[in-house]
């Protein structure tokens, strides 16, 4: 195994194709928000809808989540429309839209399979 190059997971490929916040704590919240957004079918939602789930997946308290979402919104990583929030996916220049659609579909399949596996383990 040592010295062999392994294939990247769909998750790694997905996050390498978009820009991520440079600050680690903001990146963690952003990645959790993107995953929740995709699990919800790409629907914008109120912060009240997402806050408990984000707090649970990141381990941060709700005040910190709100503060980080505001910072992400100010830096363009989160889009707000009224009271609805959604992450903004900004593609890197090396990825075109067709490639990204394929990457996104692979990642969505990956998320669904991981969830099915977790459901199976809990039975």
Domains, the chain, in order of start with CATH, read 10-122 (1.10.10.10)
Between CA 42 and CA 101, with CA 118 as vertex, the angle to 5 degrees is: 30
Q: What is the pLDDT averaged over residues 53-62? A: 93
Give per-residue pLDDT as tens, 18-54.
999 999 999 999 999 999 999 888 888 898 888 999 9
**112 near 38, Cβ under 8 Å?**
no
Alpha-carbon span 96 to 100, nearest angstrom: 6
Record the pTM. Answer: 0.83
Counting beta carbons within 10 angstroms of the beta carbon of residue 1, is it exposed (0 to 12), middle (13 to 18) or buried (19 or more)?
A: exposed
Query: CB atoms < 10 A from the CB of 60, how many?
Result: 18
């Amino acid at each position: 195994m040592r010295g062999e190059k392994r294939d990247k997971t769909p998750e790694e490929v997905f996050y390498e194709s978009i820009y991520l916040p440079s600050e680690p704590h903001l990146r963690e919240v952003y990645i959790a928000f993107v995953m929740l957004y995709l699990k919800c079918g790409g629907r914008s939602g109120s912060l009240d809808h997402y806050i408990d789930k984000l707090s649970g997946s990141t381990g941060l308290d709700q005040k910190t989540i709100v503060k980080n979402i505001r910072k992400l919104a100010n830096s363009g990583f989160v889009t707000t429309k009224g009271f609805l929030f959604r992450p903004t996916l900004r593609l890197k220049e090396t990825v075109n839209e067709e490639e990204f659609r394929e990457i996104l579909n692979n990642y969505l399949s990956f998320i669904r399979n991981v969830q099915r596996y977790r459901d199976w383990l809990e039975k």
